[in-house]
Amino acid sequence: MVLVGVSWAWATSTPLLGRLSAERRWLNFKNFAGELVPAPVRKSGDWGDALPWAWELLTDEGFLALMTTFGIATAAIILSGTLVLPLLPLASRRLARVDPFGLRAGKTNRAAGLVWKLSGPFVRFAFVLCRSLPEYLIAFLLISLLGLQVWPLVLALAIHNLGILGRLWGEVVENADDSAAMRAYAAGQGRVGVFATTTLPGVFNRFLIYFFYRWETCVKDATVLGMLGLLTLGKLIALSKGFFWDQMLFYVLLGGSVIVLGDLFSMALRRWLR
């Protein structure tokens, strides 16, 4: 099946290389590569000149863009985490039913039974829907509705990650050991109480691990969401594209190094949490 898919993808993608001849392509590429060298270096041939140039780009707009990127990602991931948490008990296969953990919950009416029967699948399907749309697309649509401001980006990231965190955290909850939760329920606590006082503390560290993993991804995505027109690195990259390849490369590398740093940070954090 996979083989069929792959061969279909390749077989029908001709002409893969467009219509340009090989020499032409190589010439293009050489020009392009030349343009990637920082402008002052191109002029003087001295790589020492690159440093002040980079510093100027950084202090001029780069730094501000960097902070915006970080802010958007952080706000978005915290927002979606806050939204997912109360939904988790409603999505859990063990908790969201008339008789949580298979323990009898007393005499209930039909309506309650129906509600609990539907709540799990409904919430889980809502998660699927949320994660099915790429954040870039959501942001694109929201900007046209809400105008060019920061909220659409935050919302887009938050909505998409709502779905993803819902799935990842949901899986953690399903796989968690729930003997303590059962005891608490048998001792008379309600569903939400059980979730908040026994399940959640037990899985908190794993939750945090996923949380930071998604935060990392959000930083990366926030970078490119800027291409829609807000001052993040993505905007700077999109603006300098085509005219100032050297600047573009600088911003790309800046974004990349930030992500590598975030990567290292969350790796250290994960090791600490394990």
Partner 1 sequence: MKAQAGKYGLKRWVVAGLALAFLCCAWSLGLTPAGLVPPDSQHWDRTGEFFRAALNPALDYEDENVPADAEPIWWKGIKGVFLTLKFAFGAMSLAVPTALVLGFLGSSAWWPEPCGGKTRLILRAVYFISRLFMSLIRSIHELIWALLFLSAMGVSPLAGMIALALPFSGTLGKVFSELIDEEARDAAQALKAIGHGPVQIFLVGILPRAMPNLITYSFYRFECALRSSAVLGFVGIETIGLYIELSHEEFYYREVWTYLYLLIAMIVVVDLWGAGIRRRLHTSTGGCAI
State which of positions 64-123 bind partner 1 (CB under 8 A).
Answer: 67-68, 70-72, 74-75, 78-79, 81
C-alpha distances in Å from residue 16, one per residue of 3, 25, 28, 254: 19, 13, 17, 32
CA distance 193 to 28: 64
CA distance 129 to 235: 28
Count of residues binding partner 1 (CB under 8 A)? 77
- Binding residue for partner 1 (CB under 8 A) from 9, 103, 111, 187? 9
- Binding residue for partner 1 (CB under 8 A) from 83, 140, 182, 239? 140
Of 119 and 240, CB closest to partner 1: 240
Of 95 and 131, CB closest to partner 1: 131
- Residue 187 touches partner 1, criterion: CB under 8 A: no
CA distance 217 to 17: 31
- Binding residue for partner 1 (CB under 8 A) from 167, 178, 235, 247? 167
Of 28 and 108, CB closest to partner 1: 28
Q: At which residue do the structure tokens 């392509």 appear?
A: 25
How many angstroms separate the first and last alpha carbons of the chain? Answer: 38
- Residue 144 touches partner 1, criterion: CB under 8 A: yes
> Among 201, 218, 198, which Cα is nearest to 263's?
218
**Please, what is the minimum distance in Å from the beta carbon of residue 52 to partner 1?**
25
- Residue 192 touches partner 1, criterion: CB under 8 A: no
- Maximum alpha-carbon separation in the chain: 85
Token readout for 193 is 């109480």
In this structure, are residues 200 and 101 in contact, taking their beta carbons and an 8 Å threshold? no
- Residue 44 touches partner 1, criterion: CB under 8 A: no
- Residue 16 touches partner 1, criterion: CB under 8 A: yes
- Binding residue for partner 1 (CB under 8 A) from 54, 66, 96, 154? 154
- Residue 168 touches partner 1, criterion: CB under 8 A: yes
Q: Which residues contact 30 (CB under 8 A, 6 or more apart)?
A: none
Of 70 and 116, CB closest to partner 1: 70
**Please, what is the minimum distance in Å from the beta carbon of residue 122 to partner 1?**
14
Token readout for 27 is 């010439």
Of 55 and 204, CB closest to partner 1: 204
In this structure, are residues 146 and 172 in contact, taking their beta carbons and an 8 Å threshold? no
- Residue 182 touches partner 1, criterion: CB under 8 A: no
- Residue 213 touches partner 1, criterion: CB under 8 A: yes
**Please, what is the minimum distance in Å from the beta carbon of residue 114 to partner 1?**
23
- Residue 260 touches partner 1, criterion: CB under 8 A: yes
CA distance 35 to 13: 30
- Residue 227 touches partner 1, criterion: CB under 8 A: yes
In this structure, are residues 105 and 99 in contact, taking their beta carbons and an 8 Å threshold? yes
- Residue 146 touches partner 1, criterion: CB under 8 A: yes
Angle between helices 200-225 and 233-240 in degrees, nearest 10:
20
